[in-house]
Amino acid sequence: MKKDLLNIKDLLDERYLKYNHRSFIENDPISIPHQFTKKEDIEIAAFLAATIAWGNRKSIITNANKLMTWMDNSPHAFILDHSKKELKRFEKFVHRTFNGKDCIFFLQSLQNIYKQHKGLEGAFKNEINTADKNLMHNIVSFRNVFLDTNHLSRSEKHISDPAKKSSAKRLCMFLRWMVRDDKKGVDFGIWKSISPKDLCLPLDVHTGNVSRTLGLLKRTQNDWQAVEEITSVLKSFDPKDPVKYDFSLFGIGVNKDL
């Protein structure tokens, strides 16, 4: 590894230790699933929180907590057993472009997933190319399952499609939460069907801009090609856990910590 890359790796390793601790949780959407201890509650809460994780973080957390309250703070039980009457309360939900109709579809699709596909972890199983560990296949497989429930076409934009070049930032973030298990108390590590080494960086304005500033990412668009480019570089730093550097890049970007 070249000396300049070694210096960058040292910087990112230091920032990883700085930002990957439980104090990170309180002001981040990951605080929502941390309210729960049951696997299914954690993953449902995490998925819904990640789904609306764009914009102001305070607003994200407020609205995600609203969803948990409306689900009687028992997400798994609600998904399995909700009535049509209970779904009506979600008609008034709004987070930016994610509205009540989108929300009700998501809840109905989750019910199908837990009743027919062994839950969210099962739905993310790579059914497209099992020999290829590219995370894109897991996400596209999941998207196909998720959209199998009747829905309005407008709702499809809320499930990103890396096959159409989307960076799928929120789904990559959700998968980081579920898969990484570094015993630091932030990520959950409750899914074993996907390896941490196969995760991809959740690429957003912060991680993208910092990656470019450090010379780790040349592509100017935040699309799936850029995700693969930066993740490949991060794998050279830590082949077993490349996405741990999400903490570093995001922390540097948000806190202007270069």
Q: Which residue has the tokens 């997400």?
A: 75
Alpha helices, DSSP H, located in the chain: 3-19, 39-51, 57-70, 75-81, 84-87, 100-116, 119-123, 135-146, 169-179, 205-213, 224-237, 245-255
pLDDT of residue 50: 98
Longest dimension (CA), the chain: 62
Mean pLDDT score of the chain: 95
User: Residue 95 pairs with which residues in a beta bridge?
Assistant: 98
Q: Does residue 131 register a pLDDT over 80?
A: no
**Above 80 in pLDDT, residue 130?**
no
The domain spans of the chain are 3-255
Alpha-helix residue ranges (DSSP H) falling in 157-223: 169-179, 205-213
The per-residue pLDDT for 6 is: 87
**How high is the pLDDT of residue 129?**
65
Q: Which residue(s) pair with 162 in the sheet? A: none
In the structure, what pLDDT confidence band is assigned to residue 169 with cuts at 50, 70 and 90?
Answer: very high
DSSP state of 91: G
Length in residues, the chain: 258
| Lookup: tokens for 110 | 């989750």
| Alpha-carbon span 141 to 134, nearest angstrom | 12
Binned at pLDDT 50, 70 and 90, residue 132 comes out as confident
pLDDT(16) > 80:
yes
Average pLDDT over residues 176-201: 97
Can you read off the two tokens belonging to residue 119?
């839950």
pLDDT tens column, 133-154 = 799 999 999 999 999 999 999 9
Q: Are 26 and 50 in contact (CB under 8 A)?
A: no
How far is 43 from 27, CA to CA, in rounded Å? 19
Query: What is the percent of the chain where pLDDT is above 70?
Result: 97
pLDDT single digits (tens) 22-34: 999 999 999 999 9
% residues pLDDT > 90 (the chain): 93
Instruction: List all residues 6 or more positions away from 183 whose beta carbon is below 8 Å from its beta carbon.
Output: none
pTM above 0.85, yes or no: yes
pLDDT tens digits, 195-231: 999 999 999 999 999 999 999 999 999 999 999 999 9
Q: How many CB atoms lie within 10 A of CB 53?
A: 23
Comparing CA positions, the residue from 160, 164, 162, 134 lying closest to residue 232 is: 134
Cα–Cα distance, 120 to 208 (Å, whole number): 28
State how far the Cα of 189 lies from the Cα of 15, in Å rounded to an integer.
Answer: 21
